[in-house]
Structure 1
Amino acid sequence: MSVAEPRRIVLFRHAKADWPQVTDHERPLAERGRTDAAVAGRKLVDSGIPFDLALCSTATRTRETWKLAVHEFPHRPKTVYEERIYEASPGELIALLNETPDDAQNVVLIGHNPGVQGLADVLAGSADGDARERLGERGFPAAAFAVLSFEGSWKALEPGVATLADYWAPSG
C-alpha cells in the first residue's frame, strides 16, 4: 500500500451505558446500548470500509460495544485493546494514532467522550457535504461514529489534516 492512498479513521463512541454500582471503567452497556451497538455495526458494514485495525478502550462498555458491532462484520479486523484510550484527550488520541503501522489503511477507534468528539473536531480541517452540520446538530451521542480521511503516514496525522467524510448517530 502506498502512503499516498487516503487513509480512513472511524471514531466510534461506545453505546449507551448503564449506571450500576461499579467503577466508571467497569460500567456495562444498557439494553438500549446493546441494540444501538449492533445497529452501528451494520451501518459501519454499509460504509464499505475494509477495516485493518480496531483500537478499543479497555473499559467494559467499549469492549461490549465493539463485540456487538464487529459481530455484524463479514471480516473481523485485528483488535487491540488499549488502556490509553480511556479518558484520553484529543492530543493523547492523536499520539496513539501516530503509532499505527503504515500497513494499516483503515482504522476504527472505539472510545469515549469528550475525547472522541474533540478528536473529530480537531482533525477535521474540512468536511464533505453536510457531515459537519449533522455533527454540530447532534453532537456525539452514544454509538455515534465519524468517518475521517487523510493522506500521508499515520505519523503525519495532526490537527486539521483530515476531511470529515461522514457522520452517523442512532435515532432517539
Structure 2
Amino acid sequence: MSAETTRHVVLVRHAKADYPHGVDDHDRPLAERGRKDAPKAGSWIASTGAPLDLALCSTDVRCRETWKLIVGELSQRPRTVYEDRLYEGSAEDLITLIKEVDDEVGSATVIGNNPALHALADALAGETEGDLREQMHRSGFPSAAVAVLTFTGSWKDVEHGVGKLTAYWTPSD
C-alpha cells in the first residue's frame, strides 16, 4: 500500500459500563444497556462499508466486551491488538500509538475511553462533512459512539488536523 493511500480511522468509545461495588475501574463490565448498544454500533460500522484491517483495543474489560460484541456484527474480523496504553492514555498518547501502525494497514479502529477518544477525534479532524463536529460536541461522544475519519498519507504522518471527520454515530441516532 502506498503512503498516498486514503486511510480510515474508526474511533469507538466503549459501550455503557456498569459500576459494581468493589470492582476496580479496569475490571468494570458492560451494563445491560452497553450489551444492547455495542452490537448496534457494530451494525452501523458494517453499514458504512469502511473496511477494518486492524483493531487497537484497550485492555480494560468494558472495551474488550464492547469489541467482542461489535466484531460479531462485522463480515470479517480484523486483526486485534489489545493495548495497555489505550486504557488511560491521552489524545496525544493515542496519536503516538496510531503513528506506530504499519503502512500495509489501510484502516484501523481504536476502541477506548473518554475523554481521550473525543479529544482525539476533535484533534484529528481538520475538516468535517456537514455539521458532524457540532453533532459530536453536542452529544459529548457518549458510550458506544463511533467517529470515522479519513486522511491520505502514512500512519507516521498522523497529527492534529490531518483528517476529515466523515461520519459520526451514537446509539440514540
Question: TM-score with structure 1 length normalisation?
Answer: 0.98
The offset of 1:135, in angstroms, is 0.7
- Residue aligning to 1:23: 24
**Partners of 1:57 and 1:14 in 2: CA distance:** 9
The alpha carbon displacement at 1:87 in A equals 1.0
- The answer to whether 1:10 aligns with 2:10 is yes
Please tell me whether residue 110 in structure 1 is matched to residue 111 in structure 2.
Answer: yes
- RMSD (Å) for aligned C-alpha atoms: 0.9
1:130 Cα deviation after fit = 2.0
SS at match of 1:137: helix
Work out whether 1:39 is the aligned partner of 2:12.
no
Q: Secondary structure at the match of 1:69?
A: helix
How far 1:62 sits from its partner (Å)? 0.1
Instruction: Give the structure 1 partner of residue 169 of structure 2.
Output: 168
Q: How many Å separate the matches in 2 of 1:170 and 1:125? A: 25
Matches of residues 17-166 of structure 1 in structure 2 within 5 Å? 17-21=17-21, 22-166=23-167
CA shift at 1:5, angstroms? 1.8
Aligned length: 172
Unaligned runs of 5+ in 2: none
Q: Distance in 1 between matches of 2:155 and 2:5?
A: 12
CA distances 1:1-59 after superposition (whole Å, capped 9, x unpaired): 22212101011000000000200000000000000000000000001011000000000
In structure 1, stretches of 5+ residues that fail to align are none
In 2: Cα distance, 1:11 partner to 1:98 partner: 15
Equivalent-residue separation in structure 1 for 2:131 and 2:34 (angstroms): 26
SS at match of 1:54: strand
Q: TM-score, normalised by structure 2?
A: 0.97
| C-alpha separation in 2, matches of 1:59 and 1:11 | 16
Q: Is the partner of 1:91 in helix, strand or coil?
A: helix
